[in-house]
Amino acid sequence: MIPDHSKNLERFSGFAGTYDQARPQPPLVLLDILTQLAQNERPRLVVDLGSGTGLSTLIWAKRAEQVIGIEPNADMRAQAMVRAGLNGNPANVRFANGLSTQTNLPDACADIVTCSQSLHWMEPAPTFAEIARVLRVGGVFAAIDCDWPPAVNAQAEMQYSAFVDRAEAIGKARDWYAGVHRWKKEEHLERIRASQQFRYVTEMLVHNAEAGDAERLVQIALSQGGVATLFKRGMSEAQVGVPEFRDAVRHALGDRATNFYFGYRVRIGIK
């Protein structure tokens, strides 16, 4: 029996707009890497598990024949449809309600399956079994995880980490994360290997640069589920310490835009 992780699902309700505006798009070089590993420059199907607001799904629109984002959270799926509209509603991309353990897709239908910023919320063994089921022989699975915060400015990054740590300490002290289960990202590679669902497992590092300013760094912090939970529980920005955090980041970065360098750890399994 698959354990109940409904609290993981609830964690992402109510702040999809902030998430979509603040979070980065995965590096486009990953499309080149994964299609090369799959030995198919134009995959017939890419499946994005835990697709959220579509940031990691819609990037495939011009590279694959079909793309399906599987996302169990209704708020996130609704925001993904908004993002799709802003991108011309590509006919080959669709979003579906489903779980990483139950995609409702046919056997061996996909060339590539991705989990972008999502695998740590998924029950490992049944998720890997489902991924292996929908992948064709030689197909590629990639778990794509961003490191927080982005590299931008030492003082701003320290303020970010201190703010998120304080916010999560509040949530833990009030037992507001009860029932939420998160698997350690640094253990992804070993769990993928131990699943024995893939004949080859490896890991690589990539990065992406996007423009950002002080307010974007603040919004990235507010898009973290542990922080967003405090607001959903009725706390104000003042109670959480957002004004002081915003002032500190503005002091560190000033009013100008700069490069945000997002580092990604990509764990790969080939069936």
Does the pLDDT at position 121 exceed 70?
yes
Q: What is the pLDDT of residues 65-108, one digit of tens each?
A: 999 999 999 999 999 999 999 999 999 999 999 999 999 999 99
Mean pLDDT over the full length of the chain: 96
Distance CA 221, CA 228 (A): 9
pLDDT-based confidence at residue 11 (cuts at 50, 70, 90): confident
207, β-bridge pairs: 263
φ/ψ of 194, rounded to 5, equals -70, -20
CA pair distance 19, 23, nearest whole angstrom? 6
CA distance 179 to 23: 25
CB 127 within 8 A of CB 119: yes
Band (15; pLDDT cuts 50, 70, 90): confident
Nearby residues of 169 by Cβ (< 8 Å), 6 or more positions away: none
Distance CA 100, CA 229 (A): 23
Helix (H) or strand (E) holding 265: strand 258-270
Domains of the chain (ranges plus CATH)? Answer: 6-150+179-212+258-270 (3.40.50.150)
Residue of 171, 122, 161, 120 lying closest to 144 (CA atoms): 120
Q: What percent of the chain is modeled with pLDDT above 70? A: 98
- Residues 119, 185: Cα–Cα separation, whole Å: 8
Selection from 212, 43, 206 nearest residue 134 by Cα: 43
Residue 237 CB-half CA count within 13 A: 10
- Which tokens sit at 130? 């489902």
d(CA 81, CA 78): 5
pLDDT at 4 over 80: no
Phi–psi pair at 66, nearest 5 degrees: -140, 145
pLDDT in tens, 233-267: 999 999 999 999 999 999 999 999 999 999 999 99
| Half-sphere exposure for 120 (CA within 13 Å, toward CB) | 16
